[in-house]
């Protein structure tokens, strides 16, 4: 079993390090559109949580990448990670603490809501 299969979460600091290194991963934001209007990171893909089961096929091309799933605080995204793993996306990982943790630990210019 690889680390990817074991680790369900990644910290915002770990994500920042990986992004700074230019690692090839997908950042999937599962928040609602109105939440993106308030605060967002540059993200590769936006699929609201309520649409994920119907749109999971859009992620097939990313199945061999780490998919970091994020929401406001990490709860919804963890449920999405569990769903994605049940569909064979073994490298889906949750952004622990979500965008709130990003604002607290990485970039306080990101608004909290």
**What is the set of active-site residues?**
71
Burial class (CB in 10 A: 0-12, 13-18, 19+), 90: middle
Q: Which residues on adjacent β-strands are paired with residue 69?
A: 28, 94
């Amino acid at each position: 079993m690889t680390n990817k299969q074991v680790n369900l979460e990644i910290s915002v600091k770990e994500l920042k390090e990986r992004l700074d290194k230019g690692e090839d991963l997908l950042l999937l934001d599962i928040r609602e559109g109105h939440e993106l209007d308030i605060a967002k990171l540059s993200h590769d893909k936006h699929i609201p949580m309520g649409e994920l089961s119907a749109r999971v096929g859009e992620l097939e091309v990313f199945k061999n990448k780490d998919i970091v799933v994020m929401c406001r605080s990490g709860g919804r995204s963890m449920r999405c990670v569990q769903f994605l793993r049940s569909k064979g996306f073994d490298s889906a990982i949750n952004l622990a603490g979500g965008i709130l943790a990003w604002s607290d630990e990485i970039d306080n210019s990101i608004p909290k809501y």
